Structure 1
Amino acid sequence: MSVPRLAVTVDLVVLTVREQRLCALMWRRDRAPYDGCWSLPGGFIQLDEDLPVAAARLMADRAGLADVRIHLEQLATYGYPDRDPRQRVVSVAYLGLAPDLPASSRAQVLWTAVDDLVRAGAAFDHRRILCDGVERARAKLEYTSLAAAFCPPEFTVAELRRVYEIVWGTGLDPRNFHRKVTGADRFLVPTGRTTTRDGGRPAQLYTRGDAEQLRPPMLRPRA
């Protein structure tokens, strides 16, 4: 029995908050298939690479985010037969999250609002992968301290609340939110400093604590 030919790629769902919108980093293809269409940044793994090494290389080479502090985790594997018209390709997707990531100097790379991408679509099955990445990010904000990955090293509760509102796509009650996040075990650590960058009275600055799981969790408002 012959062994089928199979290629393996890594695709990156890189999310950040820019101009008060949840945005994903997209790559404009310059060759067939889907020439001229937007896709997730990614590429084929090399024979001597482990998957995390390939993800880090593509984050630098294709996404243009070398030496950037970013939360990176494996998202899912996609391997149904017709996902790539060229050959049988299995893709391992990674989810990257970081605050206010810089714009790329490459014309092929652009930050685009997730809502616009979901409506417009993307090459291959990248719309599906993107939606899976966004839902993973939204779910992880409920049970983990990952929301702080979208914030600068020191942040206010109002800035953290805006992250939740933008990622979840819904408004939150400020007082109720403040009570929940400051009451979560080891989620936020006061710095003892304040800032007026939010406007109004000085606001307490916090850093991310060492908790990985939120106790109690921050559950999304349900319709």
Structure 2
Amino acid sequence: MTRTDPSVDGIRVAVSTVIFSLRRGAGGRGMSVVLPLVRRTRDPHEGRWALPGGWLAHSEDLEHAASRTLAETTGLAPSYLEQLYAFGDVDRSPERVVSIVYWALLREGAQLPLDAQNVSWFDAAHLPPLAFDHNHIVDYALWRLQNKVGYSRIAHGLLPDLFTLAELREVYEAILERDLDPANFRRQVENSGNLIPTERFRTGSHRPARLYRYDHDVELADRGPLPGRTLPSRKALA
């Protein structure tokens, strides 16, 4: 068990994560952005759903804490993890709690472990009233995702290694919550320099579609002068 020391001069420090994935609708049509939430089993807000998280452990760096608390509460390991913001309004909790919030991505179809308790998936666009200020935090994370998808290859964190342009467009449409013109989208992504066409094709009831992959020499997102790091294990990804 990791020892925690969450208080600093009366202020408690927590780490939470908004982790996005994608789900297809009935009959495999349409995609929506979803996220796992954890039902609280104690006050304050007992019985309400909340973001997965926990206290910052003694001598633990923030990114490790985000990965650890996410694994402990949901059993999930993200394909992408980035610090979102620090939320510390005085009235956000009965105690003075500062939450360092991360946002993360999971490949489409990721499943919760069979033994996961008090954890469930929710459509990000149709959330119930959450504990604390977590509705506001999710809204902010969605805004960040929608903005970042326009200038980075962040969508790769939601896709398998190989994908068609139609599948990539579906991801963009789910994130942006609007339809995109197929021809314009193809032209833009092919001119971006991020995609590499392969010699493989997706076959089925329609015309075979070429499979693409992202150029792994290009970062998912611009992190500025931050140092490189190792991503969490992907063993929990479906």
Short-chain TM bin = 0.7 to 0.9
The answer to whether residue 80 in structure 2 is matched with residue 71 in structure 1 is yes
CA drift at 1:213: 7.7
Select the residue among 145, 148, 151 that pairs with 1:137: 145
The within-5 A match list for 1:83-94 is 83-85=92-94, 87-94=95-102
5+ residue gaps, structure 2: 1-7, 25-30, 222-238
Aligned pairs (5 A) from 1:118-197: 120-185=128-193, 187-197=194-204
Matches within 5 A, 1:24-103: 24-65=35-76, 68-85=77-94, 87-100=95-108, 101-103=110-112
SS at match of 1:115: coil
Give deviations 1:111-157, integer Å, cap 9, x for gaps. Answer: 1001111xx22100001111111111111100101012111010000
Q: Does 1:211 align with 2:211?
A: no
Q: Distance in 2 between matches of 1:190 and 1:161?
A: 15
Question: In structure 1, what is the equivalent of residue 235 of structure 2?
Answer: none
Shift of 1:103: 2.7
Instruction: Compute the displacement of 1:212 (Å).
Output: 3.6
Match of 1:217 in 2: none
Aligned equivalent of 1:113: 123
| CA-CA distance at 1:107 after TM superposition | 3.2
Deviation at residue 81 of structure 1 after TM alignment:
0.7
> Normalised by the size of structure 2, how large is the TM-score?
0.82
Deviation at 1:82, TM superposition (A): 1.0
Distance 2:180 2:112 in 1: 29
User: Deviation digits for residues 57-101 of structure 1, max 9, x if unmatched?
Assistant: 112111211xx451000000001111111x110000000012122
Normalized per residue, the structure richer in helix is 1
Q: Indicate if the aligned counterparts of 1:8 and 1:89 stay in contact, CA closer than 8 A.
A: yes
> For 1:107 and 1:7, how far apart are their aligned partners in 2?
26
Identity %: 39
Quick one: distance in 1 between partners of 2:118 and 2:162? 32
2:13 to 4, 8, 15: 8
Separation (CA, whole Å) in 1 of partners of 2:190 and 2:181: 14
For each residue in 1:146-195, what CA deviation from the matched residue of structure 2 results, as whole angstroms up to 9, or x when unmatched?
0121110100000000000001100011111111111112x111121101
- Distance in 1 separating the partners of 2:70 and 2:102: 10
Amino acid at match of 1:38: W
**Structure 1: gaps spanning 5 or more residues:** 215-223
Cα distance in 2 for partners of 1:134, 1:205 equals 28
**Does structure 2 conserve the Cα–Cα contact (< 8 Å) formed by 1:8 and 1:90?**
yes
CA RMSD, Structure 1 to Structure 2 (Å): 1.6
